[in-house]
Amino acid sequence: MTRFAAPISEQIWDMKYRLKHADGTVQDRTVEDSWRRIARALSVVEAEPEIWEERFYAALEDFKYLPAGRITAGAGTGRKVTMFNCFVMGTIPDSMSGIFDMLKEAALTMQQGGGIGYDFSTIRPRGADVLGVAADASGPLSFMDVWDAMCRTIMSAGSRRGAMMATMRCDHPDIEDFITAKSDSARLRMFNLSVLVTDDFMEAVKADGPWELCFGDKVYHTLQARDLWNKIMQSTYEFAEPGVIFIDRINKANNLNYCETIAATNPCGEQPLPPYGACLLGSINLARLVKNPFEAGADLNEATLDELVRMAVRMMDNVVDASGFPLEQQAQEAANKRRIGLGVTGLADALLMVGLRYGSDEAARQTEDWLHRIARAAYLASVDLAKEKGAFPLFDADAYLATGHMMQMDEDVRDAIRTHGIRNALLTSIAPTGTISLYAGNVSSGIEPVFAYAYTRKVLQKDGSRTEEEVVDYAVQMWRDLKGNAPLPDYFVNAQTLAPLDHVKMQAAAQKWVDSSISKTINCPEDIDFETFKSVYMAAYESGCKGCTTYRPNDVTGSVLSVSEGSDKVPEVDTGAEVIYMSEPLDRPQELEGNTYKLKWPDSEHAIYLTVNDIVVNGHRRPFEVFINSKNMEHFAWTVALTRMISAVFRRGGDVSFVVEELKAVFDPRGGAWMNGKYIPSILAAIGGVIERHLISTGFIEGEGMGLKSDPQRQVVNLDNAPRGKACPSCGQFDMRMVEGCMTCASCGYSKCS
């Protein structure tokens, strides 16, 4: 019997979380081995590790508690990786040397897999005087371009995908350029952008008053606050960015406002953090805790929830001690405050199981009750840890209890903290859970509604044939198992049929008992008018949210499957694309046809010879392997490594044209060379160009800088002819969705932000 509820769940585990050796052999033979590895790694800091290992294993078993991906993939592996998901970097100095010191720190953090946030408000505006230099300042956006290039370089070096958040205050003189920066489709692709909106600004917007843009003591420009607000709204209406962060609300509510000031968040926005702040994440899977689902009296098992929260808090607190950090400042910040971010996933499925319509007043009240119970259990668990192991070093009882969030906390919890202290300064956060939700059986993600009840994905097998596989939402599958072919009740709703203000209602209900923030996307129909769209953001502000992110599909952002409110066309099943994950590599025939190319790099004594061999699959020629050779022994190690890596990618099948673009993006800091009238930034880029020419000559790709000659096509079933979305860069399926503030593939789990 497998523990996985669906084939896609096992594939996600195998691709992302299963521990494998460098030669491809597996160490985690089963998912139980993965749970055991994590439980053992997080129990070693305990005085009685054997006892706690068993308790931690029980929490992980059957996907009840889901540590975030970096913990699941990294714990107990012995690899030099951080298990922290979220970082905000140090305050950027307004000097050239300081700026590039921060760039170095960002590169080191991203190299270990951390997503980072930065506030660029501290850099003087474009055109300002630079003291001691007869020049004007280039402004923060010019340095954001440098960060963007750095992130691309880290990616091209083979590290984990980069994710960055850039924030800017609403009173910075360059804020208008910041707002519209991503209207250029080629600019700042590695960044999410958010405007830091103050309470004074929102009051000025409502009063249609003036607003000053200033830096230091100098006012650079005055405009109407409502005009600037409309500019923010217009950009996010058209391009889905920038997001909005209500920064004053964040700082007033922050449990640590007596010893830190927040000006940025991690890439998906659920973790507002101070300079060098770091946080780890994990989620309680509510969909696994419902008693008697779809029956009268169905309810969450509260005793199980309480105990699960207690175990999760202890495990996450142990991660603070067990994890490495890219920078010493991050390690000190984490040790001084012991921040954790415990959240939930499967909320929408759990609401369905107890008979509630996501977005209804009853569902909002139930959500608030569940999150309140989790908050109580988490804070009391942290108090118990403080009794046993001590409070976090910067704990000050009077100051801590006087903060905005703690003022609303239950009096018995406040009394316990006053008497015993608390181990973790902040405890709750609702993070993106797209991949771990698939891994846990395709439960609904975070506090998002169900996106689609079911969809079909096509899996390309090694012989070139394709098999179809239905991916069903966890609650829908449970309904089928219990009720057979009975139609879904009318309280089943999804992201396409939900009104935007229902999204806001659910976010606000959850935010009341979350001490950090929430990663959530408010899906808006493409035909929503601009004034109604603006009202969503005002409703988010008025209802107590700490930020707001919307997604309105259009020609710029990419369309997703959608139906209008009240339509009788329900997106029950959509069809998959033609290319996706292949479980085993293609077999090598005895003979292959190929070509050998000579590459002479200027100033190099010896040429490089590159052979590309092709295989024919279903009548189509495609690359299968490469061999790279040179008499220059300085090249030996990397040419062998490149030969093995590229060949391994080619043998997996699918759209492998990305290999060309990755190689062509590599630059050599010592300088490139001019070849045939074109500047080539490195030898690796030259090799990429040779492979690209071969793929063009064999008809595998259309032309230079272009993708597959035969692009995978999607057919949409009876959904008002909704245009397809963008193809997933990892698996090729046209199933990219904006979930929790990040474009995520529902078929393979790829996420731009992870």
How far is the C-alpha of 27 from the C-alpha of 622, rounded, in Å? Answer: 32
Q: Out of 151, 268, 279, 728, which one is annotated catalytic? A: 268
How far is the C-alpha of 436 from the C-alpha of 72, rounded, in Å? Answer: 9
The token duo for 170 is 């609403």
Q: Out of 192, 254, 255, 266, which one is annotated catalytic? A: 266
Distance of CA 391 to the CA centre of its chain: 31
How far is the C-alpha of 263 from the C-alpha of 167, rounded, in Å? Answer: 8
CB 223 within 8 A of CB 213: yes
* Number of Cβ within a 10 Å radius of residue 525: 18
What's the CA angle centered on 397, arms 393 and 399, to 5 degrees? 100
Checking DSSP bridges between strand 191-197 and strand 243-246, what pairing results, if any? parallel
Q: In 3D, which of 654, 657, 469, 658 has the Cα closest to residue 580? A: 654
How far is the C-alpha of 65 from the C-alpha of 32, rounded, in Å? Answer: 14
The phi, psi pair for 207, rounded to 5°, reads -90, 0
Quick one: three-class SS letters along 87-133?
EECCCCCCCHHHHHHHHHHHHHHHHCCCEEEEEHHHCCCCCCECCCC
671 Ramachandran zone, left/alpha/beta (phi>0; psi -120 to 50) = left
Alpha-carbon torsion (687, 693, 698, 703), positive or negative: positive
- Residues 6 or more apart from 696 whose CB is under 8 A from it? 702, 703, 704
Site of tokens 């992130």: 151
Instruction: Answer yes or no: 151 catalytic.
Output: no
Q: In 3D, which of 6, 26, 82, 85 has the Cα closest to residue 751? A: 85
Q: In 3D, which of 397, 290, 289, 382 has the Cα closest to residue 341? A: 382
Site of tokens 């489709």: 185
Instruction: Please state, in angstroms and as integers, the Cα–Cα distance from residue 696 to each residue in 68, 689, 708, following that order.
Output: 41, 11, 10
Instruction: Answer yes or no: 748 catalytic.
Output: no
- Residues 6 or more apart from 356 whose CB is under 8 A from it? 362, 363, 366, 491
The token duo for 440 is 């846990």
643 Ramachandran zone, left/alpha/beta (phi>0; psi -120 to 50) = alpha
Q: Out of 53, 105, 260, 270, which one is annotated catalytic? A: 270
- Preceding omega of 293 cis (within 30 degrees of 0): no
CB 159 within 8 A of CB 113: yes
Q: In 3D, which of 271, 223, 281 has the Cα closest to residue 83? A: 281
165: β partners = 117, 192
Checking DSSP bridges between strand 164-169 and strand 191-197, what pairing results, if any? parallel
Quick one: three-class SS letters along 360-374?
CHHHHHHHHHHHHHH
CB 268 within 8 A of CB 69: no
How far is the C-alpha of 634 from the C-alpha of 637, rounded, in Å? Answer: 8
How far is the C-alpha of 215 from the C-alpha of 308, rounded, in Å? Answer: 48
Site of tokens 């003189």: 173
Instruction: Answer yes or no: 268 catalytic.
Output: yes
* Number of Cβ within a 10 Å radius of residue 456: 15
* Number of Cβ within a 10 Å radius of residue 499: 18
- Residues 6 or more apart from 325 whose CB is under 8 A from it? 82, 84, 278, 331, 334
* Residue 369 identity: D
CB 214 within 8 A of CB 220: yes
How far is the C-alpha of 503 from the C-alpha of 717, rounded, in Å? Answer: 26
Residue numbers annotated as active site: 266, 268, 270
